Amino acid sequence: MRLRAGRDDDLTALLALWVASWREVFPEIDFAARRSWFARHLAELEDAGADVTVACADDGRALGFVVFDPATGVMDQLCVGVDSKGAGVARALLEAVKRRAPGGVHLTVNKANARAVRFYQREAFEIVGEAVNPNSGLAIWKMVWRLGGAVTRNREPLH
């Protein structure tokens, strides 16, 4: 596996990964119907300064990706393909983000996504607040990772 910067020609593969990954977590939600929303959301994030890092297999196939804004420290997406979960892809992508985030990493995660919550907690993220996702209406945790582990509790929205 190798990490590289996202490219315009990755969009189709990243959208497919996003839909499949979320479908596995929340099968009751039609993520395929949200594909165009996510494509617009991704473009808006990139226009605002976020970048995409893609984890690729030796054959060049995208295994996962992360969307991170180094100016704000906000990680909007960490997505790993269903067939690549448990293979270290998420950890590799997250470590790449942490190296670029001396001020810390902020994210939100669905409370019902127990696997993701456990992963972030193992990776030294702390829950600092809660909210509701404006798109899905689902309850979310606000989580923060700080270099050295010192987290200041902040109940203000991260986005």
Domain boundaries, the chain: 2-149
Task: Write down how long the chain is.
Answer: 159
Mean pLDDT of 62-75: 96
| Residue 158 pLDDT > 80 | no
The pTM score is: 0.88
Mean pLDDT of the residues in the chain: 90
CATH 1.10.260.40 fits 2-149, yes or no: no
Mean pLDDT of 105-133: 94
| Residue 157 pLDDT > 80 | no
Model pLDDT, residue 42: 95
Model pLDDT, residue 156: 43
